[in-house]
Chains A and B, each alone.
Chain A
Amino acid sequence: DSGVTQTPKHLITATGQRVTLRCSPRSGDLSVYWYQQSLDQGLQFLIHYYNGEERAKGNILERFSAQQFPDLHSELNLSSLELGDSALYFCASSVYSGRANEQFFGPGTRLTVL
């Protein structure tokens, strides 16, 4: 158990809908990262937040947005969902903002779009 929690564990929804995935980092960690793992794409970096501010952005679609709140938990919002958004979404956390920090991954949220 890495200490990173993600809710919900599973989510099934329909195309066109909007969902919110939640991540709580390890106690003391200030950075949160979001990743998408789909069957044909491998692990894709979406976005990195440090202490509430965006630090780096990967291939995150405009339909997706994220934020980190003052209590350091983060939410990933996915809207106008498409079948191709079905994937496992991981959150990770690290202590600091640097790119050389070891990251601790949560158990993931599996999203199924029907």
Chain B
Amino acid sequence: ILNVEQSPQSLHVQEGDSTNFTCSFPSSNFYALHWYRWETAKSPEALFVMTLNGDEKKKGRISATLNTKEGYSYLYIKGSQPEDSATYLCGNYGQNFVFGPGTRLSVLP
């Protein structure tokens, strides 16, 4: 994988559902994996920065894992709320900073 890829492109879930997204990056050009939350008409907001293989981070109902050997990270949201609706962006800061296209999450009340 030369670029950063994210799946799915978009996701619609019901309030209370748990969900997860995937970020894939080139393991040969990795230093730090960043996750951002980006609400419409606002600026990206940092969620996590991870560097170590096997790293797991948590912030409230949101958590993330990292596998640097196979080049992927998962972002989990437990018990989704309407205010979680946003685009979730991951970026790999290797030689330079490359972002994925984002996963757009809509949480329906």
B-side contacts of A104, CB under 8 Å: 46
| A42 with B49: CB separation less than 8 A | no
The distance in angstroms between the C-alpha atoms of A100 and B93, with both chains bound, is: 8
If the complex has contacts A42-B99, A44-B99, are A100 and B49 also in contact, measured as CB distance less than 8 A?
A: yes
If the complex has contacts A45-B98, A58-B97, are A99 and B32 also in contact, measured as CB distance less than 8 A?
A: yes
The distance in angstroms between the C-alpha atoms of A101 and B31, with both chains bound, is: 11
| A100 with B99: CB separation less than 8 A | no
B100's closest neighbor in chain A, by CB? A42
B89: CB under 8 A from chain A? Answer: yes
B46's closest neighbor in chain A, by CB? A102
The distance in angstroms between the C-alpha atoms of A90 and B44, with both chains bound, is: 9
Instruction: Kindly provide the distance from the CB of B48 to the nearest chain A CB, expressed in whole angstroms.
Output: 9
| A43 with B99: CB separation less than 8 A | yes
- On chain B, the number of residues with a Cβ less than 8 Å from chain A's Cβ atoms is 21
- On chain A, the number of residues with a Cβ less than 8 Å from chain B's Cβ atoms is 23
A80: CB under 8 A from chain B? Answer: no
The distance in angstroms between the C-alpha atoms of A107 and B41, with both chains bound, is: 9
A48: CB under 8 A from chain B? Answer: yes
Our pick among A44, A57, A100, A107 for the contact of B32 (Cβ within 8 Å) is A100
User: Could you list which residues of chain A lie within 8 angstroms of chain B, going by C-beta atoms?
Assistant: 2, 33, 42-45, 48, 56-58, 90, 92, 98-108
5 closest pairs, A vs B, by CB?
A45-B97, A105-B43, A100-B32, A99-B93, A102-B46
